[in-house]
Amino acid sequence: MQFKEPFRGSFKPRLKRDTIAKIYYAKEILQARLENPPLLSELAQQVGVSETTLQKGFQMQFGTTVFGYLTNQRMEQAYQLLKNSALTVAEVANIVGYFHLGHFAVAPWAIPSVAVGIALKFNQDFTSWALLESAQSNLI
């Protein structure tokens, strides 16, 4: 009698329903606290899972890391603020949780819509123009 070796390649681990609910709860917490998010360890403890489970579950459920999700949400909020308000880029950076303008200067270029929002603002104030030039030079 021969034993067949199990097929290895398409196996994807599954999460329990209650773990999935905890991952979604973590997402809600991040969304509510964009400007001051908890540390990964705090978030994991708050929802009742390990850091590893939180990271893996987030990747499985949302196709991105916890940090990637947080960054994308911040940039989406920044884009909406830039597009729909008279706020400067510096003000928007503070609102979405970037207290050092230099950190915000590089982050948006990974998300084209936010880069466009900043580009549209550069005619309105010198701070925005300087930010645009700074971010572009950092990419080269």
Render pLDDT for 88-99 as a digit per residue (tens, 0 to 9): 878 888 888 877
Reduced to 3 states (helix: H, G, I; strand: E, B; else coil), residue 88 is coil
Render pLDDT for 53-80 as a digit per residue (tens, 0 to 9): 999 999 999 999 999 898 888 888 888 8
**How far apart are the C-alpha atoms of 65 and 58, rounded to whole Å?**
6
Render pLDDT for 14-56 as a digit per residue (tens, 0 to 9): 888 999 999 999 999 999 998 789 999 999 999 999 999 999 9
* CA distances from residue 122 to 44, 74, 89, 125 in whole angstroms, order as listed: 39, 20, 9, 6
Give me 33's structure tokens: 């606290």
Q: Which residue has the higher pLDDT, 107 or 20?
A: 20
Residue 8 has pLDDT above 60, yes or no: no
Position 114 scores a pLDDT of 59
Query: H/E element holding 84?
Result: helix 66-84
